[in-house]
Amino acid sequence: MNEDTYEATRVYGALKYKYENADPSKISKKLKDEYQTFIKAKETVEAERAKAQNKLDNLDNIEKRVLNAFQALSMALGDKALTISNLDSLDTGDNQELTLGKTLALSYFNSGEEADNLDELSDRFKNDLNEDRKRYQNQLDYAYNVDFDPRKTIVMDNYNDPTERYYGNNDVKGPDPLHGTHVAGIVGAVRDNGIGMDGIAQNVQLMSVRTVPDGDERDKDVANAIRYAVDNGASVINMSFGKGFGTNKDLVDKAVQYAASKDVLLVHAAGNSAQNNDVTDNFPNSVYAKKKNCIFFKKTKVAKNWIEVGALSYNTEDRAAAPFSNYGKQRVDLFAPGMAIFSTMPENDYAQLQGTSMASPVVAGVAATIRSVYPALTAEQVKEAILKSVTPLTQEVLVPGSKTDKVKFSELSVTGGTVNLYNALKYASTMKGKKKIKKKGA
């Protein structure tokens, strides 16, 4: 499955019939929380749809302006070829359309691209514009469309049965394997072969479990993906996904507990909304819910086999935290490299991507390395080795999402530091393993 809706859309669609015309003053105390969830989802969907439509309208205006500018440039050039020298010699005077056309054409050539004529330049511009247009149109058609549901025709499970386990297929590549391929390479791309880049873990096997479409993952799928990975031998599970709503968090919680009972470590990306996860919902998470749609409470029970990872920038000093990364002194454990990360791509290619999706597999790779070198250590012990061995950063940094507000880097996570494989292995070497390891042939 490729396109799917966001969780906010599904929540809004599911509760719309119940609360769309409801009088807030008449909502019972028992339904207050559910009503507030509906309002939050509705506001999110309507705001994002309006934003996407506004972007599309702006792109239409941009296209009109630029094509008019190219037409003016074409008339001014006449029979002259489209070259830098001919553009430089062109006097635009007070003609704003001609000035814009000349500026755009020169910037195109100065970027290292080439075009034989303005028709070719116009076609390339329209193609680039259509890529942007497609992204925003998809938000209207799929992501924030309450009437869109690909589940019935593609997955064909009984979605109303959240406990259903066996559905799907073994096509892990799917319509777009870019994200998963990049994440997998960070963990386990072959090292020291002189090709592309090196994965974190030297001795690791990868299991691909496709869980997330182009849209928000569904809790039913997340829970089943965790169970599937556990049942098929995973010792570390990387989860490079997340969302702002969790409609069946209890299902995911039970799967997390199941993973804990089988000594499996879960590593999760903190998210790319530049938000404080201590105060803003982000799912899935390590906090077990007391009741549906309520995850934050004074006395919390937290999964001990869970590591939450924020993204470190390649910048230093006050820009050490990636500007998009979520953070949280209580809910994000540590940071790992997550900007401009070079890794594997489909069809034997390589590229740089960024996000906490890239930071999480760095930590998962460190965990896999520890578990391969010290197999007697439990998931909780591996987590301890990673968190107790971070490289602390003490400087003030810009709060992700802000251009002016600063805090100590140590305030952005539990540990206040960044993952360090060497230190983690040294720390692990001092620990006494709690697992009994069967020797071969025994």
What letter represents residue 153's amino acid?
A: T
Question: Which tokens in the block code for residue 21?
Answer: 């015309």
pLDDT above 90: residue 435: no
Same domain, 209 and 295: yes
Q: Is 225:197 a contact under the CB 8 Å cutoff?
A: no
pLDDT above 50: residue 297: no
3-state secondary structure (DSSP) of residue 323: coil
Identify whether 440 is part of a domain.
no
Other CB atoms closer than 10 Å to residue 381's CB: what's the count?
A: 22
Domain that holds residue 48: 1-149
- Write down the pLDDT at residue 216: 95
- Write down the pLDDT at residue 54: 97
Task: Render pLDDT for 338-359 as a digit per residue (tens, 0 to 9).
Answer: 999 999 999 999 999 999 999 9
Q: Which of 149, 168, 194 is the last residue of a domain?
A: 149
Same domain, 11 and 74: yes
Q: pTM of the prediction?
A: 0.88
Query: Rounded CA gap, 389 and 381, in Å?
Result: 12
Same domain, 182 and 78: no
Same domain, 140 and 189: no
- Write down the pLDDT at residue 292: 47
Residues 6+ apart with CB under 8 A from 189: 196, 197, 198, 199, 343, 344
pLDDT above 80: residue 249: yes
Same domain, 132 and 217: no
pLDDT above 90: residue 440: no
Identify whether 339 is part of a domain.
yes
Same domain, 204 and 183: yes
Name 334's bridge partners. 309
- Write down the pLDDT at residue 117: 86
- Write down the pLDDT at residue 110: 85
Same domain, 75 and 46: yes
Task: Render pLDDT for 103-148 as a digit per residue (tens, 0 to 9).
Answer: 999 988 888 777 788 988 899 889 989 999 999 999 999 999 999 9
pLDDT band for position 441 (cuts 50, 70, 90):
low
Identify whether 438 is part of a domain.
no
Task: Render pLDDT for 21-64 as a digit per residue (tens, 0 to 9).
Answer: 999 999 999 999 999 999 999 999 999 999 999 999 999 999 99
Query: Rounded CA gap, 235 and 264, in Å?
Result: 5
Same domain, 100 and 21: yes
Query: Rounded CA gap, 360 and 187, in Å?
Result: 9
**Domain total of the chain:** 2
Q: Which of 149, 182, 211 is the last residue of a domain?
A: 149
- Write down the pLDDT at residue 372: 97
Task: Render pLDDT for 419-431 as a digit per residue (tens, 0 to 9).
Answer: 999 999 999 999 9
Vertex 245 angle, CA 354 and 398, to 5°: 40
3-state secondary structure (DSSP) of residue 294: strand
Hey, which bits of 121-253 come out as E strands? Answer: 236-239
Same domain, 145 and 161: no
Q: What is the CATH number of the domain that holds 198?
A: 3.40.50.200
Q: How much of the chain, in percent, has pLDDT values that exceed 70?
A: 97
Largest CA distance in the chain: 88
Residue matched to tokens 């602390």: 392
Instruction: Using alpha carbons, select from 254, 240, 237, 258 the residue that is nearest to residue 367.
Output: 237
Q: Which of 123, 149, 175 is the last residue of a domain?
A: 149
Same domain, 191 and 219: yes
- Write down the pLDDT at residue 115: 79
Same domain, 212 and 355: yes
Q: How much of the chain, in percent, has pLDDT values that exceed 90?
A: 84
pLDDT above 90: residue 437: no
Backbone angles phi, psi at 421, to 5 degrees: -60, -45
Task: Render pLDDT for 278-291 as a digit per residue (tens, 0 to 9).
Answer: 999 999 999 998 75
Residue matched to tokens 């910048």: 315
Identify whether 187 is part of a domain.
yes
- Arithmetic mean of pLDDT over the chain: 93
pLDDT above 50: residue 296: no
